[in-house]
Amino acid sequence: MIALVGRRLLALPMILLLVAFLVFLLAWASPFDPAEAYVQGAAAGDALTPQLREQYEQAWGLDKPMPVQFLNWLERLVQGDLGTSRYLPGVPVTDVLQDRAYPSLVLLGAALVTVLVGALLAGVAAAALRDSPIDWLIRTSAYAATFVPSFWVALLAVFVFAVELDWLPAAGASDLRSTDAGRVEFRHLILPTITLALTQHGWFTLYVRNTVLEVLREDYVRFAEAQGIGRVAVLFRHALPNALIPFVTLIGTHIPELIGGSILIESVFGWPGLGNLTRQAAIAVDIPLLMAIVLVGATLVVIGNLAADLLYRVVDPRIRESLR
């Protein structure tokens, strides 16, 4: 396990370097003009004259060849300088990330816990009641959650629970009258969390159901049932623990989808996190801010997959024995 952690940490800089270069290359090849986007946004009202465009390009280093721009950005990154945001003129990118990271981590953590608990309960119930109306209902909802667009689910949730029923707030992480800008209130967290969890629960629920059904066909489970052990005890003491082993690996593979899905969910609910900030930075063609967000996301993906691999070795005694 120590060797695994060491290899992943050694590979992390190379992964981040490759990701950063690809994002920088895509941004450079993009038809969108950073100077024009800046004038239409932060400097609204000014005309983008050739002289003004030249000033912006010189100030941002865009007048240099793409490899030189990337090397200059990389040199500043090594020194701990992520640059300044163009979407929020003059604000260091580091400060922007610090302000937006906490709401995003709270939302992602709450959604991950919700989808894991909900998928386990739904998947086990569907397997235990196979071919029953409850099983059919769970599978149908899982298929629907897999194929229905997440932004449509978010808009529907806002319309039903915030507009029509007026049970929950429609946007923001806290009340607008709150003096703490970084505060996350539970009532504001409910709708984004459930919506983000619904976008992922289909895969997890179906996986748990199918895995539990496979485990229930194993000889040791049938032997336990033949010994007179009750169905519930067999399910939770024998089938579920073994079904959880491959379930752990699914968590690591779906972390990128969870992070990517947060962009749409945060945008719909006006959530002040990194997902919503990604959309805003893309519209403003804020390359320094986009690069920093992508690096943070890539780091979270690598760490999430590493945690899943480590947890897999902890819960599966066969893996531990093979490593000795």
Q: 34-51 burial, b for 16+ CB within 10 Å, e for fewer?
A: bbebbbebbeeeeebeee
Q: Check if the beta carbon of residue 64 is closer than 8 Å to that of residue 109.
A: no
Per-residue pLDDT band for 134 (boundaries 50, 70, 90) equals very high
* pLDDT at position 136: 93
Domains of the chain: total: 2
- Candidates 308, 119, 130; CA nearest to 202 is 119
**Is residue 312 predicted with pLDDT exceeding 80?**
no
Residues 31 and 159 reside in one and the same domain = no
Residue at 88 is within a domain: no
Residues 7 and 144 reside in one and the same domain = no
CATH at residue 218 = 1.10.3720.10
**Is residue 315 predicted with pLDDT exceeding 90?**
no
**Is residue 286 predicted with pLDDT exceeding 60?**
yes
Residues 128 and 18 reside in one and the same domain = no
Residues 133 and 249 reside in one and the same domain = yes
Residues 190 and 63 reside in one and the same domain = no
Residues 222 and 270 reside in one and the same domain = yes
Q: What is the CA radius of gyration of the chain?
A: 24
Average pLDDT, the chain: 81
**Is residue 271 predicted with pLDDT exceeding 70?**
yes
Residues 135 and 63 reside in one and the same domain = no
Residue at 144 is within a domain: yes
**Is residue 137 predicted with pLDDT exceeding 90?**
yes
Q: Check if the beta carbon of residue 262 is closer than 8 Å to that of residue 10.
A: no
Residues 27 and 109 reside in one and the same domain = no
Residue at 314 is within a domain: no
pLDDT in tens, 68-91: 888 888 888 888 888 888 777 778
pLDDT in tens, 23-57: 888 888 877 777 777 776 654 455 667 777 777 77
Residue at 301 is within a domain: no
Residue at 94 is within a domain: no
- Candidates 105, 100, 107, 98; CA nearest to 272 is 100
Range of the domain at 17: 2-78
**Is residue 321 predicted with pLDDT exceeding 50?**
no
Residue at 302 is within a domain: no
Residue at 288 is within a domain: no
pTM summary value = 0.81
**Is residue 323 predicted with pLDDT exceeding 70?**
no
Residue at 235 is within a domain: yes
Per-residue pLDDT band for 106 (boundaries 50, 70, 90) equals very high
pLDDT in tens, 162-207: 888 888 888 888 776 665 656 788 888 999 999 988 888 888 888 8
* pLDDT at position 320: 53
Residues 109 and 61 reside in one and the same domain = no
